Structure 1
Amino acid sequence: MHHTSRLVSWSCIAVVAALAIAGEVLIAAAMREVGDLDVIRAKSGLPGAIRAVLSTPTFLVGAVCMALNFFAMLFTLSLVDLSLAAPGIGSLNYVGNAIAARLFLRENVDRRRWIAILFVAAGVFLLSR
């Protein structure tokens, strides 16, 4: 690891993951709001489908979160070793997406997924030592 403290490293990783989770959940919610793009495209053509997506505020906020995620990832990789950042971000995304999908999208996250999430989180904890 570079000469970056653990607090700074994990704070950067957490920000990257939080932006990705927010972006993914917002985009998923927006696409549920928009509906089936094939149906929209059949009625309005490809421009109509694109317009339907881009005119959804939830999608736009999600896209901004994903753009910020990209730049936060670049910043994080300038400070934190990839061998810690990638699995740390990935595991936080995995855990965070499951929790957010359950809370905000009302998805059913079964016991098997929660067990898998625990194993992923344990693995990243071991890597960070």
Structure 2
Amino acid sequence: MIQHGWADAAMIGAIVVFATIGDVLIAAAMRAIGDLDDIKAARGLGGAILAVLGSVRFVSGVFFMALSFFSLLFALSHADLSLIAPASASLTFVTNAVAAKIFLKENVDRRRWIAAVCVCAGVILMAH
């Protein structure tokens, strides 16, 4: 096993970056596509599926989510589950809040920022 430190941080970082990019791309794609119920009503289930799968943003988002998943598998083969899983999930929560604010122009309220700071503190405590 790799010693805790830079290697663990790099593996966690890869998981978090890929997951965040994937989440933002998928969210942006779904907003651009619109209400799937409306599309399904107008064009049927096949039309809704084609609308989603025809979106470059959606497909790109799925690609990044797959990279995140394979990064997680790699990390779990080299480091402790008790560090990798909670750290990557927690930090993804934080980066998603930042990315949602910047790229999706979402209103991230004070309560979510406080939660993000608490998550960061928890990850720091867990890593040491």
TM category (shorter chain) comes to over 0.9
Paired residue for 1:19? Answer: 18
Paired residue for 2:6? Answer: 7
Paired residue for 1:37? Answer: 36
TM-score, length-scaled by structure 2:
0.97
CA distance in 2, matches of 1:80, 1:43: 49
Tell me the secondary structure at the aligned position of residue 3 of structure 1: coil
Paired residue for 1:73? Answer: 72
AA partner of residue 74 (structure 2): F
Paired residue for 2:117? Answer: 118
**Displacement over 3 Å in runs of 4+:** none
CA distance in 2, matches of 1:66, 1:60: 10
Tell me the secondary structure at the aligned position of residue 89 of structure 1: helix
AA partner of residue 104 (structure 1): F
Paired residue for 2:92? Answer: 93
CA distance in 2, matches of 1:105, 1:14: 22
Aligned residue runs from structure 1 range 37-56, under 5 A: 37-56=36-55
Task: Give unmatched runs, 5+ long, in structure 2.
Answer: none
Tell me the secondary structure at the aligned position of residue 108 of structure 1: coil
Kept in 2: contact 1:4–1:79 (CA 8 A):
no
- RMSD, matched Cα: 0.8
TM-score, length-scaled by structure 1:
0.96
Aligned length: 128
Task: Give unmatched runs, 5+ long, in structure 1.
Answer: none
